[in-house]
Amino acid sequence: MLDSFLFITQIRLKGLIEKFINLILFGNFWIAACAVAMTWQTELLLFNQIEINTLTYFVFFATLFLYAIHRIVGLVKVKPFLEKYRYSVIYHFRNHIKVYAFLGGVGALYCFFYLSFANQLLLVIPAILSLGYVLPFVKGDKRLRDFDYIKIFLIAIVWGVITVLMPILERTTELTLAHLLILSERMFFIFAITLPFDIRDLKIDAHIDVKTIPSMIGIDKTKKLSLISLILVVVLAGANLYLGTYQISHLVGIILSCSSTLLFINYSDKTDADYFFTGLMDGTMILQFLMVLLAAYFL
C-alpha cells in the first residue's frame, strides 16, 4: 500500500516538475531571463557593476512579449508539426501564452517611457525588425524570418543592440572602440548558438520553403562556422583585454563559456530534444554570464 502511494506521488511530482519546466521554457520566461543575463554581463564587463533597473525590466518584458507573439504566430506555419513536443505544448497553452504576451507588452511599453532618450531613439530600428520578424506583413503572410538566410543575422543584430548598446546608452552617448568590440563579440556569440537551431529546424524550414545556412552548406560546415564564431568571440574579448576594458578574469570566463558551448553545438545534430535546445542551448547565455561573474569573483 505504501509502495503504491509512493509510486503515485512520484508520478504526480514528476508531472508537476515537467509542467513547471514547460511553463518556464515555453512560456518564454527562460529566454527573457537569458536576455537579462546578457544585459547584466555587458554592465559587468564595461562598468563593473550590475543594476536591477528600468532597463532590466524593459529587456525582460520586451523579450517575453516578442517571443510569445512569435510562438503564437508560428503555430500557423507549422501545422503539420503540431505533434512535436514543443509545438504540442505551445498549442495546448496558447491562451496562456497570449496572456504572457499581453503582460509583456504592457510592461515593456510602461518601462519604455522611463528609458533614456538615446535608448528610446535606438529602439526604433530593432523594434521594427523584431516585429517584422514575428508578424506577417508581406504578401503571402511572410515574416522577415521567412526570407532566405536572413533570420539568423536579424537575431544576432537585435540581440546585440538590446543587450549591449542599450546598457551603454543608459550611461553614456559616446561609443568607443571597446563598445564596438563587445557589440561584435555579442553578435558572434548569438550567431554561434543560433546556428544549431537552424540545424534542428531543417525539416520545418524546408516545409515553409525557407533556405537557411545549414541547408546551403550542410550540417558539418555549419558546426564549423559556429566554432569560427566562438573563436572570434574569444579574439574580440582578448582585444578588449588588451585595451584595458576587460580584466583577465573576464577573458577566462568567456573562454570557459565558449568551450562548454562548443560541446553543446557539437551535439546539436544528434538530438532534436526541446529541452536541449530551448533549455541548454539558450541557457548558454546565462551560463556565460555566470562564468564571467564567478571568474571575476574568484580570480
CA torsion sign for 71, 287, 270, 279 is negative
278 contacts 24 by C-beta, under 8 angstroms: no
30-53, pLDDT tens digit by residue? 999 999 999 999 999 999 999 999
Which 8-state DSSP code applies to residue 28? T
Residue 183 has a pLDDT of: 98
Q: What's the CA gap between 282 and 279, in Å, rounded?
A: 6
Question: Is residue 6's pLDDT more than 80?
Answer: no
How many other CB atoms are there within 10 angstroms of residue 80's CB atom?
12
Q: What is the pLDDT of residue 137?
A: 77
Q: How far apart are CA 70 and CA 72, in angstroms?
A: 6
186 or 51: which carries more pLDDT confidence? 186
Reply yes or no on whether the pLDDT at 280 is more than 70: yes
pLDDT at res. 106: 97
Q: Is the pLDDT of residue 157 over 70?
A: yes
User: What is the residue extent of each domain of the chain?
Assistant: 23-39+52-298
Give the model's pLDDT for residue 272: 85
Q: Are 84 and 144 in contact (CB under 8 A)?
A: no
CATH 1.10.600 holds for 23-39+52-298: yes
pLDDT digits (tens, 9 = 90+) for 198-208: 999 888 888 77
Q: What is the pLDDT of residue 2?
A: 42
Task: Provide the pLDDT confidence category of residue 7 given band limits of 50, 70 and 90.
Answer: very low
Q: Which three cell numbers stand for residue 158?
A: 537585435
For residue 13, pLDDT beyond 60: no
Average pLDDT, the chain: 90
What is the structure's pLDDT at 144?
A: 82
Q: What is the pLDDT of residue 82?
A: 64
Indicate if the pLDDT at residue 10 is higher than 80.
no
CA angle 116-194-227, nearest 5°?
A: 115
Say if CB 251 and CB 241 are below 8 A apart: yes
**Distances in whole angstroms, Cα of residue 284 to Cα of each of 34, 212, 259, 276, 279:** 8, 22, 11, 11, 9
Any idea of the CA torsion for 209, 214, 219, 224, to the nearest 10 degrees? Answer: -170
Q: Report the 10 Å Cβ neighbour count for 82.
A: 12
CA distance 261 to 196: 11
Q: Beta partners for 138?
A: 142
pLDDT at 9: 47
Q: Report H helices in the chain.
A: 2-26, 29-47, 54-77, 85-92, 94-112, 117-122, 124-134, 151-160, 166-169, 177-200, 202-207, 213-217, 219-242, 248-267, 274, 282-298
10 vs 151 pLDDT, higher one: 151
Which one has a higher pLDDT value, 216 or 6? 216
Q: 29-47 vs 177-200: helix axis angle to the nearest 10? A: 160
In terms of pLDDT, which residue wins out, 125 or 237?
A: 237
Tens digit of each residue's pLDDT (9 = 90 or more) over 85-133: 677 888 888 888 999 999 999 999 999 999 999 999 999 999 998 888 8
Percent of the chain with pLDDT over 90: 66
Give just the sign of the alpha carbon dihedral 115, 117, 120, 122. negative
- Percent of the chain having pLDDT more than 70? 92
530534444: which residue's cell?
A: 273
Cell triple for 298 = 574568484
Separation of alpha carbons 30 and 271, rounded Å: 20
